[in-house]
A = this chain, B = another copy of it.
Amino acid sequence: MGKEYAIGIDLGGTFIKGGVIDLKGKVLVSTSIETRADGGPSHVLGRMAELSREVTRAGRIAWDQVKCVGVGTPGPLSRAKGIVYTAPNLPGWENVPVVRTLKRKLQKPVFLENDANAAGYAENWVGAGRGASSMILLTLGTGIGGGVVLDGDVWHGRDDAAGELGHMSINFDGPRCNCGSYGCIEAYASAPATVRRALDGIEQGKRTSLKKLLEKNGEITAKDIYVAAVGGDKFALQTIQATGKLLGIAVSNFVNIFNPELVVLFGGLAGAGDTLFDPVRDEVRKRALKPAADTVKVVPAKLGGNAGIIGAAGCALRALEISAS
């Protein structure tokens, strides 16, 4: 039968990424296809099944060598029921029986996982958190997602709804968040929140190279801001530092709650490097309790865009192991 593998699928609103991952978390092959979400859930599920076959062929392994398929999706889901309740940016996705459908199409064990949890599991398995006994992952993007990995397993909670770390309020009177609450860290330190702070500054007449960029492109991105910051633009630097400080307040809370070995920052803004990480770490030193504040490491993620498929595959292998034991 040869070496064994798992397939990892990372479902996004624009692309579906798929890959073949070996039992040590190494990516044998990976590829992306368009989601074509407009086609609706059953069309997308068909594409996910095709992609699973395709990466297996591309990896030149036999279908028999595939132990299981892991699927990472955004939004609330039930692992036990194998259902995605809703998925942001995927029209028509309501109570979609992902596991049942893919099991039928692929004739393999299929497991669901929240995408931020999958990224967290992947970073703990073979990434920045390899070997860490406890790890908190924050995904910094349009929103802020979270993954809590304790003793090597994702903490899922009662309803697979744990790890919504972006929706911890750090100011109960703060700005309204997309979730309906106030002052969530997502409302303060997501990419859009960072861009908004920069735009406010530009409007107020701050001197910054971002103004020209805004005039030229009609918009600026979080990446524009940290690239300008690293390039010496003072206002851009202050903007990233402000985001770092706000993230640091949130991380301090997680340190007091979990006393984790590691906090991993994942996604776009984490690319800002020490410009972002220094104020995060400063805030943890100032705010969190000893000894946890002294021992925690705050580091960038390592696996980049592959974290989703590695984690989906890894969580599926782990679930298979648990269900067999």
- A179 sits at the interface (CB 8 A): yes
> Across the interface, which residues of B come within 8 angstroms of A133, CB to CB?
158
Option from B150, B157, B163, B286 in Cβ contact (under 8 Å) with A155: B150
Interface residues of A in 272-315 (CB under 8 A from B): 286-292, 295-296
Q: A260 touching B158 by the CB < 8 A rule?
A: yes
Chain B residue numbers with a CB within 8 Å of A221 are none
We find that the number of chain A residues with CB closer than 8 angstroms to chain B is 48
Q: Which one, A20-28, A45-53, A94-102, A250-258, is touching chain B?
A: A250-258
| A172 touches which of B134, B171, B289, B295 (Cβ 8 Å) | B171
| A246 (CB) vs chain B CBs: closest residue | B172
For residue A321, CB closer than 8 A to chain B, the reply is no
Q: Which residues of B contact A159 (CB under 8 A)?
A: 259, 291-292, 295
Q: Check if A126 is an interface residue, CB within 8 A of chain B.
A: no
Select one of B161, B259, B261, B291 contacting A291, CB under 8 A.
B161
* Pair A161/B252 contact, Cβ less than 8 Å: no
User: Are B158 and A249 interface neighbours, CB within 8 A?
Assistant: no
Main DSSP-derived SS at the A contact region? loop
- CB atoms of A292 and B157 under 8 A apart: yes
**Among A253, A260, A288, residue most surrounded by chain B Cβ atoms (within 10 Å):** A253
Are A292 and B171 also in contact (CB < 8 A) when A164-B257, A181-B252, A287-B181 are?
no
CA distance A169 to B164 in the complex (A): 17
A99 to B289, CA, bound (A): 24
Smallest Cβ-Cβ distance to A253: which chain B residue: B168
Interfacial chain B residues near A158, Cβ < 8 Å: 133-134, 259-261, 292, 295-296
- Within the assembled complex, what's the spacing in Å between the Cα atoms of A181 and B285? 10
Contact of A256 among B168, B259, B290, B292 (CB under 8 A): B168
Judge whether A227 is part of the interface by a CB distance below 8 angstroms.
no
User: A76 at interface (Cβ–Cβ under 8 A)?
Assistant: yes
Q: Does A165 belong to the interface (CB within 8 Å)?
A: yes
CA distance A161 to B169 in the complex (A): 22
Question: Is there contact, CB below 8 Å, between A256 and B171?
Answer: no
Bound-complex Cα distance A256 to B180 (A):
13
> How distant is A85 from chain B, measured CB to nearest CB, in Å?
8
Q: List 13 A-B contacts (CB under 8 A).
A: A76-B290, A157-B260, A161-B291, A162-B292, A164-B256, A167-B256, A167-B288, A168-B168, A168-B253, A170-B171, A170-B172, A181-B252, A253-B253
